[in-house]
Amino acid sequence: MGEMTAGVLTVSDRVSRGEAEDVSGPTAIAILAGLGFEVDWRVVADERDEIQAALREWIAGGINLIVTTGGTGFGPRDVTPEATAELIERPAPGLVEAARSASKHPKAMLSRGVAGIVGSTLVVNLPGSTSGVEESLGVIRPALVHGVSLITDAHTPHE
């Protein structure tokens, strides 16, 4: 497989306004880079239109994987799952289900993240906390490279 590309989209009102530092985005970037992905990074507010615009731009550019951080909780402005679900063509619920199931955090079940395929791009919603990103990517990491290769049809056929 050639160069794998990924985008990390941090969804946070406070970070987008410069009121807080993003710590979960850089955590996701480091993990994905360690898997061999060339990683782009953006920050948007908790606004459905902004989230979808960033996702659409990356998808149109042919990026292989998009990981969002933040906006997956129960708060009134947590709209990342809805914004993502409207674009998903083929759901891949096992990714976020695995991350939630394996979490050691008692409130992980409150994460509403979704995952799925849009064109030839895999999109996965993760929580906004650094520990949530580390734990989630730690669980789904083995499937990401293989999943991307299956989507892009750059894999060796199954025997």
- Given a cut of 50, whether residue 155 has pLDDT beyond it is no
Phi/psi of residue 122, nearest 5 degrees: -95, 130
Q: Residue 12: how many CB atoms within 10 A of its CB? A: 21
The string of pLDDT tens digits covering residues 32-82 is 999 999 999 999 999 999 999 999 999 999 999 999 999 999 999 999 999
pTM surpassing 0.75? yes
Q: Which CATH architecture has domain 4-16+50-151?
A: 3-Layer(aba) Sandwich (3.40)
pLDDT at 40: 98
**Looking at residues 121-131, what average pLDDT do you find?**
96
- Transcribe 53-88 into DSSP letters: HHHHHHHHTT-SEEEEES--SSSTT--HHHHHHTT-
**pLDDT(21) > 90:** yes
The pair of structure tokens assigned to 43 is: 């920050």
Sheet strands (E) in the chain: 4-11, 37-44, 65-69, 90-91, 115-118, 121-126
